[in-house]
Structure formats: C-alpha cells, structure tokens
Structure 1
Amino acid sequence: MPLDSTTKLNSLGFAKAPSETRVVVAMSGGVDSSVVAAELAAQGYDVVGVTLQLYDHGAALAKKGACCAGRDIHDARRVADEMGFPHYVLDYENTFREAVIDEFADSYLGGATPVPCIRCNERVKFRDLLETAKDLDADCMATGHYIQRKMGPNGAELHCAADDARDQSYFLFSTTQEQLDYLRFPLGHLQSKSDTRALAAKYGLGVADKPDSQDICFVPDGDYASVIEKLRPGAAEPGEIVHADGRVLGTHKGVIHYTIGQRRGLGIGGLDEPLYVVKLDTENCRVIVGPKEMLATRVVPVREINWLGDADFHDGPHEISVKVRSTRPPRPAILRPLPDGGAEVELLTPEEGVSPGQACVFYETGTTRVLGGGWIWRGA
C-alpha cells in the first residue's frame, strides 16, 4: 500500500489496522515484556508471544531471578492466556550455549570481562528469534527493552530511553540497521519503571509486582567463577599477585576471580597504599596490581564495529560521546576508524577500569541517538 500525506500509521508504524498487523513479542516472563504483549493485545494487534528456553530447564526451576527459568516460562504463558493470544516456548539451549555461554567462559579465561547480555541480544534474540518472527509472517518483533526507536530523515534511529535510570542502550549497541527496521520497543518512552508496573496492574497481570532480575540469567547468584569452573574444569589455577613494580605480594586461587579495577577481596592487606587490579596476565597466571592512577586509560582499541550513524564510518574521525561501562554516563571522545575495520577511541578525559571484553558504545554528542559501538579488545 503506497504511503502519502493522508495515510495514517498505526502505533507500530504500519499503514493498516492493528488487527491486520502481526507482531511477535519476545517474552521473558518478567513485567516489562509482559506489559508490551498485553498492551499490544489490548490495542487489537495480532500478537504472538514467544519465550526462549535458554539453558537447562530442570536446573532453572530451583533458581530465582533468572530470566528464563521455569517459573518465568509459566508466567509468560499465563499472561498470554489472560490476554488471549498464542504463546510458544522455543528450545534455544544449544544455540545459547554455543553463541553466549562458551564465549563467556573463554573470555574470562583469557583475562577479559565479557558482557553476555549483549551477545545474547546480538546472536540469539535479534538474530535467530527475529528470523523466527519473520517465519511466522510477523510485520515486526517487539521487546520489553528500555530504548527508543525513532524515525529520522534517513530511516529508523536508535535512541536512549526516556528514563535514564532504565536505559539499556549500552546492551543494544550491536543492533544493526536491518534489525532496527524490524524491531519495536514500546516501553522506551516511559518515564519510570512505576509507569510499567501501573500498566501491568491496569491489565491485571500477575507479574505486576514481580521483582526485576539483577543477574545474568545463567549466573543467578552472581558467582561467575563457579560457573566458569563448572564449564571449564581446572580453570581456577592458582598463581601470584604481583605489584606493577615486580614485588610478589601474595597468591590467588585463579585469575577468573578478578576483574580490571577491582580493589576489594584481593587478600593482600597490610600495605600502605590502596591497590587495584590493573592487568590480568593469564599466560603466567598472575594478577597484576598497582595504584589507582595506573587504571587511567585515554586510548581504547575497539573492533567488531557496528555503525548506525548517517555519515560514512570510514570518513572519520568522528567527534562523539562514548560509554565504556554500562553504569557510566557518556563522555566526549574522538572515534578514529582504522584500515582493518576496527577503530581507536580517544577519550578526552581518561577513564579508569577500561577492560577488554567490555563494550564501547557510541552516542551522538548533544542528543540521545545511539551511533553503535564496538568491543574493547586489549588494554590500551
């Protein structure tokens, strides 16, 4: 159907009635995605709910706070029943292990600090699940992420959520333009999480007061090291804790127990100066510590770049803002493309605790637009 100035678009951006618009909703069983599904169903859309079983169902049943545990699958199905739309559970356990969990373990063994939630969005939800949505003849796929999709002069753009406290742009930087054209994020404009819970209560959803999950879904107790030891037996090889000046200060029970910037739990008390982990020497099983100023980084090498800007990426340098940690605000930087497809990011103010394996996310200076990002791949 051709569009003209008189064509009215529905709330998902299609020039047809909601009842003629099929939308697959990725449902984790939590309040956010449940509200998305309920709201779209109430608006008359042809909703299909899909929940992914990402890891061992039996083991998940006994774990609270995990995004795709057995209870959460049950909660998603109950919302679908209450709102009257079909719901499917897809077994993505093997895909999730190969695409996310294995790399998580290997990254830690290599001295990096991975962000598996980004890889899950990139390699599972926005790739395999999105293709499943297309196979179901859906016009689009909607999720409960707190981020905004806005139409700009050159097409769909990715923007931060209206609520800074809930913004998930750091975890969605690798969303491609093709994926963005197909995805919808109905919660991104809400001002607070209380607005989401109010909508859940409005529709009488049993998950209205369900707590948010705080941990990585396959590490619900936050004990990364024990998960890695289970996946990679023998991973926790002991070694030395060494000062940057060469002094041996103590021993450790495995490099996997440490991250760049860590201060607490080093087990080397009694020293005159506070010390931080400044490097993980995995080849020699050494944890290198030093004073805080050694954590300051100005140049950050990144690779696997996803660029969402209007200008040609290779026509840089680009003056942008970046996040090197999800909990930090964007800081001014200069992005310099490299011939190999990677880039160097020069931070105008040095950042502490920049770690390989983390994401470096790009933002348009002075606006809420997300310009993509890349992966930090070695210490600067």
Structure 2
Amino acid sequence: MALDSETKLNSLGFAKPPSETRVVVAMSGGVDSSVVAAKLADEGYDVVGVTLQLYDHGAALAKKGACCAGIDIHDARRVAEEKGFPHYVLDYENIFQETVIDEFADSYLAGATPVPCIRCNERVKFKDLLETAKDLDADCMATGHYIQRMIGENGPELHSASDARRDQSYFLFSTTPEQLDYLRFPLGHLPNKDATRALAAEYGLSVADKPDSQDICFVPNGDYASVIEKLRPGAAEPGEIVDHEGNVRGQHNGVIHYTIGQRRGLGIGGLSEPLYVVKLDVDAKQVIVGPKEMLSTRTIPVREINWLGDEPFDSREEWHVAVKVRSTRPPREAIIRPLGPDTAEVELLTPEEGVSPGQACVFYDTDSSRIFGGGWIWRGY
C-alpha cells in the first residue's frame, strides 16, 4: 500500500512502507544485533542479515564466545531462521587482518595502546560492509550499537546513548557524516541492557540469555602480549626498567607486557613510594617508571580528527567541549585548538592521568548529548 503525502516517515526515516524499505542488519551473533534484526523484521521491514567472518575460527587467536567467532555465526543464522529473513556470511578475514590486526600489533610494538574496535568499525563495518549493504540495494544499514542518530538543523547528528553505562560513542567517533546518513541505531534510546534482553525474550530469540562478549574478539582473555608474540615472533625482547632519572630499577621480559599507568607486576622491591609506568621506550627497550604525578597530563596532541560539527573544524581558533581520553572515563571539559583541518592540541581544564598514545580523544558537546567526533592521541612534539 503506497503512502500518501500526509503519512509520517516510517521508524527508519523513509517515506514509504516498511515492507518497501530494505535494511541490512550487521549481525554479530550477540543479543544486541539479534534484537535489532528481530525488531525490524517484526515491524515488517525487508531485513537482510549479514555476519562477518573476521578471522580464522580454528586459529589460536579465536576464542569461543567472542564477537564473530564460529558459534556467533551459528547464532546469527539461527535468529534469521527463527524470524524468517535471509542471512549471509561474508569472509572479511583478509581485510580484518590487514586493516585491524596488523596495525594493532605494530602499534603495540611501538609503545602505543591501540583500540582495535574503533578501527574495525571505521575500516570494516562502516566501510566495506556498508558498501556491501548498498550493493544489496538496501535503503540503510542498522547495527546493535548503543548510540543515537538524531536529525538536527543541518542533517543527521551523532548522540550518546540514553544509558550512559552502555554508551559506545567512544568507539564510534570516526563515523563520517556520509556514513551517519546511511546508518541506523535502533537500540540507542533504550534505558538499559535489561530492556534489550526483555525484547529478546519477547521475540523468542534463542540468544536472549547469551552473555555479552567482554574482550577484543581476537585477544583471548585480554592477554594482549601473547597475541602480539604470535603475530610478531621475537617481539618480547628483554630490557631494563629505569626510573625517570635513569637509574636501573629492574629487568623486564618485553615492553609489550606493560602499559602506561601500570603499577602492579613491575617486580620492583624496596620502594619508598609506589612507582608507575610513565613511558615506554621501544627503541631502547626500556620501561620508564616514576611517581604518580608524572602521569598527569594537561596538553594532548591529537591527529586524524573526524569532525562532526556544523562548522568547519579549523574555522575557529578554539572549541570549548568535553573530551573523553579513555572509554572507561567520563568526559572532562577541555579546549580544542585546531592546528589544521584534522590536527589539534587539546588542553584539559583538569589534568588526566595515564593518557596514552594510540588511545582516542572523543569530543562531546557540554550542553547536550551530541558528539562532535574525535581523533587519535599521539606523542606529538
């Protein structure tokens, strides 16, 4: 049945019936994306489920229960069968290896603390998979991410999820305006994860009680070092643990076993005050330790900035926003000073501890839930 001019847009923002609106749902096999697919199918949309095989499921890197592992592909397929829509598995293993895993290993070896989930969204899910959705003649692509897309005066805007505890804006800051125009996030408005599981039960999904995945999909039990050693044999070369004055305090069995801000497991005895990892010198094979106050940072160099504001990023000398420098920390007030179209110096009004190269710096509006994008922290000057 055709819609007349008085009929409102459907729930995905299109002026046509759901049955004439094709939506590709990125299905990881977890409860979130399964609920999105079931919800849209239940509303009468032309749903096509797509699951990505991102790595060799028989390899040592894979682990049961991780995102996009073998059991998850089975679970996604089962949900599609239960709800009666087509489902495809796409082999993106080579793309994932080249654009996510290899960079993760190289960044870690360079002393950075990478966030591969951001690169996966940026380079695989919201790039290659999104193009695949367009090839399937889909009107849009939907995911189970906890974030909101709202229409503002100048078009689609990215906003934090209603549930701050589930908000995934830190991992999605690099979503471009063009991608945002095509994407939909049906769960971002829900009050909490219990509401998602209640919907899964309501739709009778077999994954309703499936636990959430906690770790990076290709990092078993959060053991970064063992994965790096598999990917880059010989990477764990021993060296010295030195303090900020250059005094040798101990030995280590590889810089890759340490992160900025680490206190435990340093193997340094007889200390009058706690020491923390304040720097990793990969070239010298040194782990530099110092007192906690050395971790405090006020100025952060940021590059590869993706800007989602209404005005060009470098059209102003300063932007007064809030920034988040780690996914587990709340946004803090800051001043962004553009140095070019995609580089800037960020000044924190309150110093942060443990700011590390390789992490993201995400920009938030101080007066609303809007996200203005973000960039990557680097060593700078």
Is the TM-score greater than 0.5?
Answer: yes
> What is the alpha-carbon distance in structure 2 between the residues aligned to residue 220 and residue 207 of structure 1?
22
Alpha carbons of structure 1 residues 301 and 173: separation in structure 2 relative to 1, 3 Å: same
Three-state SS of the structure 2 residue aligned to 1:213 is coil
Cα shift readout 1:278-299 (whole Å, capped 9, x = no counterpart) = 0000000000000000000011
User: Structure 1 residue 370 and structure 2 residue 361: aligned?
Assistant: no
Q: Show structure 1 runs of 5+ residues with no match.
A: none
Aligned-CA RMSD value = 1.5
User: Structure 1 residue 208 and structure 2 residue 208: aligned?
Assistant: yes
Alpha carbons of structure 1 residues 60 and 247: separation in structure 2 relative to 1, 3 Å: closer
- After the TM superposition, which residues 17-36 of structure 1 pair with which residues of structure 2 at under 5 Å, given as runs? 17-36=17-36
Three-state SS of the structure 2 residue aligned to 1:221 is helix
Q: Is the 1:49–1:87 Cα contact (8 Å) retained in structure 2?
A: yes
Q: Show structure 2 runs of 5+ residues with no match.
A: none
User: Cα distance, 1:197 vs. partner?
Assistant: 0.3
> What is the alpha-carbon distance in structure 2 between the residues aligned to residue 73 and residue 219 of structure 1?
18
TM-score, structure 2 normalization: 0.97
Q: Is the 2:68–2:217 Cα contact (8 Å) retained in structure 1?
A: yes
User: Structure 1 residue 136 and structure 2 residue 136: aligned?
Assistant: yes
User: Cα distance, 1:65 vs. partner?
Assistant: 2.6
1:349 maps to amino acid: T
Three-state SS of the structure 2 residue aligned to 1:178 is helix
Partner of 2:356: 355
> What is the alpha-carbon distance in structure 1 between the residues aligned to residue 17 and residue 103 of structure 2?
43
Partner of 1:43: 43
> What is the alpha-carbon distance in structure 2 between the residues aligned to residue 247 and residue 353 of structure 1?
22
Alpha carbons of structure 1 residues 203 and 339: separation in structure 2 relative to 1, 3 Å: closer
Cα shift readout 1:103-144 (whole Å, capped 9, x = no counterpart) = 000000000000000000000000000000000000000000
Q: Is the 1:60–1:70 Cα contact (8 Å) retained in structure 2?
A: no
Alpha carbons of structure 1 residues 68 and 46: separation in structure 2 relative to 1, 3 Å: same
User: Cα distance, 1:340 vs. partner?
Assistant: 6.7
2:96 maps to amino acid: F
Alpha carbons of structure 1 residues 31 and 242: separation in structure 2 relative to 1, 3 Å: same
Cα shift readout 1:164-206 (whole Å, capped 9, x = no counterpart) = 0000000000000000000000000000100000000001111
> What is the alpha-carbon distance in structure 2 between the residues aligned to residue 60 and residue 79 of structure 1?
27
User: Cα distance, 1:245 vs. partner?
Assistant: 1.3
Three-state SS of the structure 2 residue aligned to 1:58 is coil
Three-state SS of the structure 2 residue aligned to 1:121 is helix
Q: Is the 2:65–2:71 Cα contact (8 Å) retained in structure 1?
A: no
1:290 maps to amino acid: G
User: Cα distance, 1:338 vs. partner?
Assistant: 0.4
2:32 maps to amino acid: D
- Shifted more, 353-362 versus 258-267: the winner is 258-267
Alpha carbons of structure 1 residues 281 and 78: separation in structure 2 relative to 1, 3 Å: same
Partner of 1:105: 105
> What is the alpha-carbon distance in structure 2 between the residues aligned to residue 188 and residue 61 of structure 1?
31
Partner of 2:342: 341
TM-score, structure 1 normalization: 0.97
Three-state SS of the structure 1 residue aligned to 2:149 is strand
Runs of 4+ in 1 over 6 A off after TM superposition: none
> What is the alpha-carbon distance in structure 2 between the residues aligned to residue 61 and residue 40 of structure 1?
33
Q: How many residues align?
A: 378
User: Structure 1 residue 228 and structure 2 residue 234: aligned?
Assistant: no
User: Cα distance, 1:57 vs. partner?
Assistant: 2.2
Q: Is the 1:242–1:287 Cα contact (8 Å) retained in structure 2?
A: yes
2:367 maps to amino acid: G
- After the TM superposition, which residues 276-287 of structure 1 pair with which residues of structure 2 at under 5 Å, given as runs? 276-287=276-287
Cα shift readout 1:242-294 (whole Å, capped 9, x = no counterpart) = 00011100000100011111111111132111011000000000000000000
User: Cα distance, 1:224 vs. partner?
Assistant: 0.6
Cα shift readout 1:54-82 (whole Å, capped 9, x = no counterpart) = 00022379722310111000000000000
Partner of 1:320: 321
Alpha carbons of structure 1 residues 288 and 379: separation in structure 2 relative to 1, 3 Å: farther
- After the TM superposition, which residues 64-79 of structure 1 pair with which residues of structure 2 at under 5 Å, given as runs? 64-79=64-79
> What is the alpha-carbon distance in structure 2 between the residues aligned to residue 134 and residue 184 of structure 1?
14
Partner of 1:179: 179
Cα shift readout 1:209-262 (whole Å, capped 9, x = no counterpart) = 000000000013211101101110110000000000111000001000111111
> What is the alpha-carbon distance in structure 2 between the residues aligned to residue 368 and residue 60 of structure 1?
40
Partner of 1:158: 158
> What is the alpha-carbon distance in structure 1 between the residues aligned to residue 30 and residue 137 of structure 2?
25
Alpha carbons of structure 1 residues 16 and 4: separation in structure 2 relative to 1, 3 Å: closer
Q: Is the 1:65–1:215 Cα contact (8 Å) retained in structure 2?
A: no
> What is the alpha-carbon distance in structure 2 between the residues aligned to residue 274 and residue 148 of structure 1?
42
> What is the alpha-carbon distance in structure 2 between the residues aligned to residue 340 and residue 237 of structure 1?
39
User: Cα distance, 1:4 vs. partner?
Assistant: 10
Alpha carbons of structure 1 residues 173 and 238: separation in structure 2 relative to 1, 3 Å: same
Alpha carbons of structure 1 residues 297 and 83: separation in structure 2 relative to 1, 3 Å: same
User: Cα distance, 1:379 vs. partner?
Assistant: 6.2
Alpha carbons of structure 1 residues 84 and 5: separation in structure 2 relative to 1, 3 Å: closer
1:34 maps to amino acid: S
Alpha carbons of structure 1 residues 105 and 343: separation in structure 2 relative to 1, 3 Å: same
Partner of 1:56: 56
> What is the alpha-carbon distance in structure 1 between the residues aligned to residue 53 and residue 193 of structure 2?
25
Q: Is the 1:238–1:252 Cα contact (8 Å) retained in structure 2?
A: yes
> What is the alpha-carbon distance in structure 1 between the residues aligned to residue 41 and residue 4 of structure 2?
28
> What is the alpha-carbon distance in structure 2 between the residues aligned to residue 60 and residue 111 of structure 1?
24
Percent identity, aligned pairs only, is: 82
User: Structure 1 residue 114 and structure 2 residue 114: aligned?
Assistant: yes
Alpha carbons of structure 1 residues 336 and 282: separation in structure 2 relative to 1, 3 Å: same
1:16 maps to amino acid: K
